Amino acid sequence: MNDASSAAIQKPGQILARGVCRHLVGHGFVTVEELVPTPGLRVDVMALGPKGEIWIVECKSSRADFTSDAKWGGYLEWCDRFLWAVDENFPTELLPDETGLIIADGYDAEILRLGDETRLAPARRKAMLRTFAVHAARRLQLLRDPGLALAAPGS
Amino acid sequence: MNDASSAAIQKPGQILARGVCRHLVGHGFVTVEELVPTPGLRVDVMALGPKGEIWIVECKSSRADFTSDAKWGGYLEWCDRFLWAVDENFPTELLPDETGLIIADGYDAEILRLGDETRLAPARRKAMLRTFAVHAARRLQLLRDPGLALAAPGS
């Protein structure tokens, strides 16, 4: 009931993101949504793994949603792995072989392909961990303290 | 209204924590509450500063609340600075001079004394940043996705 009502006001990509984030819990990852690694980029899901891995997952609900995204190449330099999350009807042959692939719905997901790994340099990894922490803590504070008028650039 | 109703179900220390966290936003800090840096310890507020500073703030609502806390010395090794947050009626002469002092209520706070700084070693700082990020992201996911049954040790 709660799931259905919240799903009704979410965009298709956000519903996929929810399933992705639930699934990644089982792999020991924590996640945030709609994180801005650098001005002008906003990633659907950023995931932090048990060994410090940083993954970006972009959620695409349709062919048009994918083909209209000219920015995705810019995400690669901000993560160790880049993966797409799509639903079971998505034409996955559109997606580059070197990127990862997750099939998702609003409730769970399955990782079909991890894609290539390109390890972040230590300085950028540290900066991304900090960005992740700041983003998560700001969003959390806004939810646990609705009375807060938070000036939160970048969140 | 929202503030009043949420304050009504919080413990006195949690109300102080809310004011502390609001105030620290103005100093560029992000915060989480009730973080476990190591098994057996739970800190009221852990704050991450704009230069990567890690502060622990323990919130004490009364003399008895302070004198019954035998654990606070154990917090020092997990932060760069350790501060107390108390209300305006607290007998602050009880508090060690080398620790920081914040006067708070549920809506704001004021830092009266920063206390001594003892910088964390780089490896521990990195581990604490990760602990902070994981804690914040787990709590956030539980709030944004109430349908998630999250097995979240340590959060």
- Domain positions in chain B are 3-120
CB contact under 8 A, B129 and A134: no
Name every chain A residue with its beta carbon within 8 A of the beta carbon of B130: 48, 52, 129
Give the torsion through C-alpha atoms of A120, A124, A127, A131, to 10 deg: -60
Of B16, B30, B54, B139, which to mutate for an interface test with A (greatest number of A Cβ within 10 Å)?
Answer: B30
Is B132's Cβ below 8 Å from some Cβ in A? yes
Name every chain A residue with its beta carbon within 8 A of the beta carbon of B18: 145
pLDDT digits (tens, 9 = 90+) for B61-114: 999 999 998 888 999 999 999 999 999 999 999 999 999 999 999 999 999 999
pLDDT digits (tens, 9 = 90+) for A74-98: 999 999 999 999 999 999 999 999 9
Dist CA B47 CA A48 (whole Å)? 20
Give the torsion through C-alpha atoms of A17, A19, A21, A24, to 10 deg: -130
Confidence of residue B27 (pLDDT cuts 50, 70, 90): very high
Residues in Cβ contact with A42 at an 8 Å cutoff, skipping those fewer than 6 apart: A34, A35, A36
Among B3, B141, B145, the residue with its CB nearest the CB of A147 is B3
Tokens standing for residue B72:
């606070």
CATH number corresponding to B3-120: 3.40.1350
Enter the ipTM.
Answer: 0.89
